Structure 1
Amino acid sequence: MTDQTQAPPVAGHNQPPRLRHPEKAHRSDQAQPKKPEWIRVKAPTSEGYKKTRDILRENRLSTVCEEAGCPNVGECWSQGHATMMIMGEICTRGCSFCNVITGRPDELDVFEPGRVAHAVQKLGLNHVVITSVDRDDLDDGGADHFAQTIRAIRHRSPDSTIEVLTPDFLKCKPGALETVVEARPDVFNHNLETVPGLYPTVRPGARYFHSLRLLQRVKELDPTMFTKSGIMVGLGEDRQGVLQVMDDMRAADIDFMTIGQYLQPTPKHHRVDRFVTPEEFAGYEKSAFGKGFLMVSATPLTRSSYHAGDDFAQLRAARLEKLGRA
């Protein structure tokens, strides 16, 4: 999920040709709705924010917080929390909602897993979220790089819990998903992003039921692993479509659902259809819990990794409570 900010390139990285999604076919020239007060956030200025930024810069690490322009970056970095984005800053997909650069990626940096682990240790993270760009250029979609990063963090910070937010591995050779699951992250997250009817314009390189099956397969490989997925609202979906996605997720045995407001990063990206009210988000949260999710986060500013550590603690507690009732 995105907003209007854009990160500077990391010093020392090669810079091949890049595109910020020129001319989307589904772009609307209509002005987007005015951003309401409940979606506004203050610019980051705290010392904690600067410390987190400096540690990330020292280790030459990218974050989805910057690359996707997350509105919560000031709050999260002030607390030393950052979602690290591995395998470069250039994505092989061109989703209409996303502000990450599309183009030809760099070669994988074999030293990156170690630098991520060092940053996790230096930041003192109890819970870390690792995500990536899509790497359809790689045979395994970067699955082994995810696994190496997980193992490096386990070595440096054995008490840290690890959440991965992966691509869909749609164009990979068999075994990619298994490689990540075998590395034993504590949470396996893959976002559905939107309702299936909007995939042709919002997420054209992906397939809704493939993404669902990916998450279902994680549970088949390791029933103890928490699974998580999220969607954005305000793209043009209706309430019934969101409720159907909830049912599909539960059919795939997904434990944790996130729902947040889509924010248009540039005029060339998919237009905001509307700003969903906090009351509607509360209604979605109530419905999702009623459908059996162990954990739900549904607010205008919810993002996949927003308050991920606190949410993970609640997720574990909810499972223990459920097992106690069984």
Structure 2
Amino acid sequence: MRQANRQGEIPVRDLKLPDQRHPEKAHRPDNVQPKKPAWIRVKAPTSEGYKQTRDILKEKKLVTVCEEAGCPNVGECWSHGHATMMIMGEICTRGCTFCNVATGKPQTLDAFEPGRVAHAVAELGLKHVVITSVDRDDLEDGGAEHFAQTIRAVRHRSPDTTIEVLTPDFLKCPPSALEAVVAARPDVFNHNLETVPGLYHEVRPGARYFHSLRLLQRVKELDPTMFTKSGIMVGLGEDRQAVLQVMDDMRSADVDFLTIGQYLQPTPKHHRVDRFVTPEEFAAYEKAAYGKGFLMVSATPLTRSSYHAGEDFARLRAARLAKLGRG
């Protein structure tokens, strides 16, 4: 682990990345944003629970993917005290065309952030917490040790809280990066494939489909008891057969939990919405996924990786016990 400096920050490798937000999006052509159908419209957040969660996160100087990615479920989740912590800053080193998180040169890591996350989890009284991050290609280990420190801090402060991580792909990092996160023993290891392989060059140009698939498979090799989870968006231009093939690929990597949600275009500069997938199609995907052997499936227009994560984790654990004949 690198030593922290006097300000509690950990130095990063010098990358030639632009400092301005979303610089790569300025050159993209505008894509018309279609009107959303009734089944994916949500109300603006106004509850006291929402405000309390917002204030606690602000006080602890924490970033959430709920805000940064413009999640449509933020009102519902924050009203119930649920939030997905986004560690390692709010600037990503990649420019995926579906994502609304800022791209550029990140700041140095804050060595005190794991402790602040742990304090927020305790203050919010979370029974289940999801911890994610931006991609940090500027770090030798992709931020893996920072993930591990955050997991350990939450465990120490809130030993009864179950922990789910949603990690980057640790592309070009040594094997020890993934090993460090798994060794910290989160209850759920989530890494999203995001889309079908044929769309990676448009949607995730900095990622590699089979690397991400292998990452999930490797988690199971390192710890067969750890729950693994992955998700994709639909409505980006994929067809049904490609989605079914992704399901097969995930099952070949022994992924336990699949999420499928509707892609929503954040701005005209982002990847276009090809179409809005109907609730009936989502139900058909869910049925097909269970038929392929997933322990848990969430497939609805508003499904996101951490939506109802705590309740789904309880169901996931119960499904495993039932499969083992202990339910």
TM-based fold match above 0.5: yes
Residue 17 (structure 1) aligns with: 19
Q: What residue number does 2:237 align with?
A: 236
8 Å contact kept, 2:24–2:95: no
CA distance in 1: counterparts of 2:289 and 2:299, whole angstroms: 9
Q: For residue 322 of structure 1, what is the aligned residue in structure 2?
A: 323
- Give the whole-Å Cα distance in 1 for the aligned partners of 2:139 and 2:227: 26
Residue 78 (structure 2) aligns with: 77
Cα RMSD of the aligned pairs, angstroms, is 1.4
Provide the secondary structure at the position in 2 that maps to 1:130.
strand
Preserved CA contact (<8 Å) 1:33 1:275: no
Over residues 251-270 of structure 1, what are the superposed CA-to-partner deviations in whole Å (9 max), with x where a residue is unaligned? 00000000000000000000
Q: 2:88 is matched with which residue?
A: 87
For residue 224 of structure 1, what is the aligned residue in structure 2? Answer: 225
How many correspondences in the alignment? 310
Query: Alpha-carbon deviation of 1:173?
Result: 2.5
- Extract unaligned runs of 5+ from structure 2: 1-17
Verify the 8 A CA contact 1:24 1:270 in the aligned structure 2: no
* 1:17 counterpart letter in structure 2: D
SS in 2 for 1:42: coil
Partner Cα separation in structure 2 for residue 181 and residue 24 of structure 1 = 38
Task: Give the C-alpha shift of residue 171 in structure 1.
Answer: 2.1
Report if the CA contact (8 A) 1:21-1:96 is conserved. Answer: no
Q: Is the 8 A contact 1:28 1:270 kept in 2?
A: no
What is the TM-score with the length of structure 2 in the denominator?
0.93
Question: Which ranges in structure 1 are unaligned for 5 or more consecutive residues?
Answer: 1-15
**Corresponding residue for 1:39?**
40
TM-score normalised by the chain length of structure 1: 0.93
2:248 counterpart of 1:247:
yes
Letter of the 1:128 counterpart: V
For residues 118-147 of structure 1, what are the alpha-carbon distances to aligned partners after superposition, in whole Å with 9 as ceiling and x for unaligned?
Answer: 000000000000000000000000000000
Alignment of 1:175-254 (within 5 A): 175-254=176-255
Q: Is the 8 A contact 1:230 1:257 kept in 2?
A: yes
Kindly state the Cα deviation for residue 191 of structure 1 after the two structures are TM-superposed.
0.1
Partner of 2:172: 171
1:169-214 deviation digits (Å, cap 9, x = unpaired): 0021231000000000000000000000000010000000000000
8 Å contact kept, 1:131–1:166: yes
Task: Return the letter of the residue paired with 1:303.
Answer: R
How far 1:30 moved relative to its partner?
Answer: 5.1
For the Cα contact (< 8 Å) 1:195–1:245, is it kept in 2?
A: yes
Question: Does the 8 Å CA contact 2:98/2:265 hold for their aligned counterparts?
Answer: yes
Counterpart of 1:280?
281
Q: 2:216 & 2:254 partners in 1: Cα distance?
A: 8
Q: Hey, what does 1:109 align to over in structure 2?
A: 110
1:305 maps onto 2:295 in alignment: no
Tell me if the contact between 1:246 and 1:291 (Cα under 8 Å) persists in the aligned partners.
yes
Post-superposition CA distance 1:229-256 (Å, at most 9, x none)? 0000000000000000000000000000
Distance 1:31 1:133 in 2: 27
Residues 246, 288 of structure 1: 8 Å contact kept: yes
Contact 2:31 2:269 in 1 (8 A): no
Aligned residue for 1:228, secondary structure, equals strand
What is the alpha-carbon distance in structure 2 between the residues aligned to residue 23 and residue 227 of structure 1?
Answer: 32
Report sequence identity in percent.
84
Q: Determine the C-alpha separation between the residues in 1 that align with 2:323 and 2:293.
A: 11
Return the offset for 1:115: 0.2
Per the alignment, in what secondary structure is the counterpart of residue 185 of structure 2? coil
Q: CA deviation at 1:34?
A: 1.9
Q: Tell me how far 1:59 sits from its aligned partner.
A: 0.3
Note if contact 1:55-1:119 (Cα within 8 Å) is conserved in structure 2. yes
State the alpha-carbon separation in 2 of the partners of residues 72 and 30 from structure 1.
24
Partner Cα distance (2:23, 2:261) in 1: 22
Task: Supply the distance in 1 between the matched residues of 2:124 and 2:32 (Cα, whole angstroms).
Answer: 41
Runs of 4+ in 1 over 3 A off after TM superposition: 21-25, 27-30
